[in-house]
């Protein structure tokens, strides 16, 4: 008589004798490579899978082709580049930040309208050379160097923070030494692009302007490229998802799933780039370098010729003595000792002679 457990063991033994792929890696490798597990697939199964595999390959190739065409079309449809000279006034900065037309792949240096002590530079560049009039995507950055009194340094930093906040921006980084021998530092503000000019104007009023430089980079083409790539990949993902729903084998399922994962990853990377770019376009970066006035040098009185000669003589004597002492220290010490001993002998002899003579007398 056998028990239920013994019969279960017997059935399990019969099942284990069936050559199923027990290694997970082997299963997956077989599924991915399209190799049937140790058993042989029936002609019916093969006939059923073969056309479906071909269909999947064909649709996959079509999806890839569509993606390439979409990218190519979107790139070729980018507007031609139009180059303009930047307006000759620093106040034209407002026009740049507002995304108005009037610049392209050009760079201009502008001077004037700014305190005479300061230097001003405005650069306008196009990232891809595909800028055109209308709906421009501009990244604007600026650098201001200010000299402020050391007692006002803390106040200026606070004011810069207030400027950023009042304009709807933020302080990106701040590194300022308020005490010590190297007072000063840098504050980087992020302000809405439309408020960039106002931020510059308010910031430069906080101290003595030493330098003002702004750069506007046209990234319209880059934005368009990214958008086209994301659209193409999203279309490809939709195709793959349709394939995924119709996959006829585990092999197809796995390969389509891997493709979807890969495409999804690419989409996420590009979308992250889009977000960064959008933030850079929306918020201009203004770097304010703060320094305190340098301490003036105290004038040193010019010595007279006599004084100069006297000092030289004293210096030479001191130097000579030092050298002599350094070079002949042992010899001098010996001479001193001999002299001392000689004096002792002399006085001792005289005392002894006086004593002897008194005795004799």
Partner 1 sequence: MVTDTNPGDLEELLQQWYAPAYRTAALLLGDAANVDDAVQEAFLRLWRFRDALPEGDGLRPWIYRVVVNACYSSARTETRHASRRAPQDALDAVVSSDSTPDELADQHDRASLVRQAILSLPTGLRAPLVLRYYAGLSEKEIATAIRRRPGTVKSRLHEARRLLASDPRLAHLGLGVSSNGQEEAK
Give 29 or 177: the residue with its C-beta nearer to partner 1.
29
Q: What are phi and psi of 99, to 5 degrees?
A: 75, 20
Length of the chain: 361
How far apart CA 81 and CA 95 sit, in angstroms, is 19
How far apart CA 168 and CA 174 sit, in angstroms, is 17
Give 82 or 254: the residue with its C-beta nearer to partner 1.
254
Give 10 or 325: the residue with its C-beta nearer to partner 1.
10
Q: Are 291 and 157 in contact (CB under 8 A)?
A: no
Q: Taking the complex as a whole, how short is the minimal distance between the CB of residue 155 and partner 1, in angstroms?
A: 58
- Choosing from 13, 77, 295, 298, the residue that interacts with partner 1 (CB under 8 A) is 13
How far apart CA 361 and CA 348 sit, in angstroms, is 20
From the list 277, 337, 333, 255, the residue with the least C-alpha distance to 137 is: 277
Q: Taking the complex as a whole, how short is the minimal distance between the CB of residue 253 and partner 1, in angstroms?
A: 6
Stretch that binds partner 1, among 11-19, 62-70, 211-219, 345-353 (CB under 8 A): 11-19
Answer yes or no whether residue 241 interacts with partner 1 by CB under 8 A. no
3-state secondary structure of 124: strand
Stretch that binds partner 1, among 4-12, 124-132, 152-160, 191-199 (CB under 8 A): 4-12
Q: Taking the complex as a whole, how short is the minimal distance between the CB of residue 263 and partner 1, in angstroms?
A: 17
Answer yes or no whether residue 3 interacts with partner 1 by CB under 8 A. yes
Q: Taking the complex as a whole, how short is the minimal distance between the CB of residue 67 and partner 1, in angstroms?
A: 24
Q: Taking the complex as a whole, how short is the minimal distance between the CB of residue 238 and partner 1, in angstroms?
A: 17
User: Cα–Cα distances in Å, from 273 out to 46, 53, 199, 233, 267?
Assistant: 45, 36, 26, 15, 10
Site string for partner 1, 30-69 (x = CB under 8 A): -x----xx-xxxxxxx--x---------------------
Give 6 or 318: the residue with its C-beta nearer to partner 1.
6
- Paired tokens of 304: 């007279």
User: Cα–Cα distances in Å, from 296 out to 129, 290, 355?
Assistant: 49, 19, 79
Answer yes or no whether residue 360 interacts with partner 1 by CB under 8 A. no
Site size toward partner 1, by CB under 8 A = 41
Answer yes or no whether residue 265 interacts with partner 1 by CB under 8 A. no
Answer yes or no whether residue 21 interacts with partner 1 by CB under 8 A. yes
Give 47 or 177: the residue with its C-beta nearer to partner 1.
47
The neighbour count for residue 90, using CB atoms within 10 Å, is 20
End-to-end CA distance of the chain: 155
Q: Taking the complex as a whole, how short is the minimal distance between the CB of residue 236 and partner 1, in angstroms?
A: 20
- Choosing from 55, 114, 254, 277, the residue that interacts with partner 1 (CB under 8 A) is 254
How far apart CA 154 and CA 160 sit, in angstroms, is 10
83: which DSSP letter?
A: -
Q: Are 286 and 196 in contact (CB under 8 A)?
A: yes
- Paired tokens of 341: 């001993």
Footprint of partner 1 (CB under 8 A): 1-4, 6-8, 10-18, 20-22, 24, 27-28, 31, 36-37, 39-45, 48, 245, 247-250, 253-254, 257
């Amino acid at each position: 008589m056998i028990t239920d457990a013994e019969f279960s063991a017997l059935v399990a033994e019969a099942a284990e004798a069936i050559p199923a792929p027990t290694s997970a890696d082997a299963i997956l490798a077989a599924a991915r490579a399209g190799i049937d597990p140790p058993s042989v697939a029936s002609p019916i199964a093969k006939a059923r899978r073969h056309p479906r595999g071909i269909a999947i390959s064909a649709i996959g190739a079509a999806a890839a082709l569509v993606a390439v065409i979409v990218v190519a079309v979107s790139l070729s449809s980018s507007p031609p580049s139009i180059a303009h000279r930047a307006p000759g006034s620093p106040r034209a900065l407002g026009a740049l930040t507002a995304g108005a037309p009037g610049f392209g792949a050009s760079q201009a240096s502008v001077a004037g309208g700014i305190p005479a002590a300061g230097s001003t530079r405005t650069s306008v560049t196009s990232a891809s050379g595909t800028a055109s009039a209308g709906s421009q995507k501009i990244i604007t950055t600026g650098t201001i160097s200010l000299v402020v009194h050391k007692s006002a340094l803390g106040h200026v930093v606070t004011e810069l923070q207030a400027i950023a906040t009042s304009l709807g921006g933020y302080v990106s980084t701040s590194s300022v030494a308020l005490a010590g021998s190297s007072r000063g530092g840098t504050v980087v503000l992020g302000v809405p692009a439309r408020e960039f000019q106002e931020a510059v104007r308010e910031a430069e009023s906080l101290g003595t302007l030493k330098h003002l430089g702004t750069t506007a980079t046209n990234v319209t083409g880059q934005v368009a490229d990214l958008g086209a790539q994301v659209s193409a990949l999203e279309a490809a993902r939709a195709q793959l998802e349709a394939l995924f729903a119709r996959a006829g084998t585990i092999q197809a399922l796995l390969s389509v799933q891997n493709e979807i994962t890969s495409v999804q990853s690419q989409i996420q990377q590009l979308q992250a780039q889009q977000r960064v770019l959008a933030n850079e376009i929306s918020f201009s970066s203004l770097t304010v370098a703060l320094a305190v006035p340098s301490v003036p040098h105290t004038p040193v009185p010019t010595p007279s010729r006599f004084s100069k000669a006297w000092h030289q003589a004293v210096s030479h004597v001191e130097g000579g003595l030092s050298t002599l002492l350094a070079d002949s220290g042992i010899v001098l010490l010996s001479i001193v000792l001999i002299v001392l001993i000689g004096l002792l002998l002399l006085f001792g002899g005289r005392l002894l002679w006086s004593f002897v003579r008194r005795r004799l007398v």
